[in-house]
Amino acid sequence: MPFPAMEAGNGFLWSTVLLMVFVWLSPSSVGLRYLVRALFVVAVGALLLWERRTELVGSTHLRNLLAFFFLGLGLWSILERSAQQVKLPSLVLLPLFSVASLYVFLQSHHIGQGILSGSVVLQLLLMSLVFVISVLRPELISAAAVLPFVSIFSVAFMAGAHFYFNVNPWTLMFFCIPFAVLWARGWLVFIPRSGLVEVAVLGVIAAMPLAYFFWH
């Protein structure tokens, strides 16, 4: 784990350590929590993109950097709000769909072999493990501790795909669909609150547009 990170894979490793620090700090007041959260999102971006720092100049790169920054903050906030509305398995499964869909996209287009794909696979395995535990023993999982890892890493993978491999940012927006489903959960009153039923229904709703994207 050389520091500063010299490739995307090392950036993800250091970002994991950084987000563990955030969970440990766990700022309580609302204002301080959002300020610290913004600083950590910037730090994750810096770790991930350090190798490309001299290349990310100009208005287009700046605009895209800001877009991913606000996307990271937005998805984190969506999950924090959703944690009060959905069962824990749903909070993990839908971001898992997002990361899995991105991985399938990278593989189908032969993008990020070794560097980005390896990190995505590791994240998928860990998120899958957390999902299984959240179903079988939910009392062992802290939603607050899970939130940064299922939101910021999803955005970090998208940012890595764009800035390292020139994937169109508009294409990456398709992988935010599961988060949009979580955001809309409060209006989907027809979905039962029962854990497994909710997971199944929300999963189908999130998977259908992603399936359509890959089919076409």
Look at the block and give the residue holding tokens 């959905």. Answer: 86
Domain span at 43? 8-215
Mean pLDDT computed over 75-100:
91
Query: Regarding predicted confidence, which is higher, 28 or 180?
Result: 180
**Contact at 8 Å (CB) between 80 and 147?**
yes
The closest alpha carbon to 191, from 82, 77, 86, belongs to: 86
pLDDT at position 115: 64
**Domain assignment of residue 115, yes or no:** yes
pLDDT at position 112: 66
pTM of the model: 0.88
User: What's the token pair of residue 135?
Assistant: 């179903």
Is 29's pLDDT higher than 80? no
pLDDT at position 136: 92
**Domain assignment of residue 148, yes or no:** yes
Is 178's pLDDT higher than 90? yes
**Domain assignment of residue 211, yes or no:** yes
3-state secondary structure of 128: helix
**Domain assignment of residue 1, yes or no:** no
**Domain assignment of residue 2, yes or no:** no
pLDDT digits (tens, 9 = 90+) for 49-70: 888 888 888 889 999 999 999 9
Share of the chain above pLDDT 90, in %: 37
What is the rounded distance in angstroms from the CA atom of residue 117 to the CA atom of residue 204?
25
Which segments of 83-176 does DSSP mark as H helices, in order? 88-108, 116-136, 143-165, 169-172
**Domain assignment of residue 145, yes or no:** yes
**Domain assignment of residue 70, yes or no:** yes
**Domain assignment of residue 194, yes or no:** yes
Total structural domains within the chain? 1
Between 6-20, 50-64, 132-146, 170-184, the lowest mean confidence (pLDDT) is in: 6-20
pLDDT digits (tens, 9 = 90+) for 141-156: 888 889 888 999 899 9
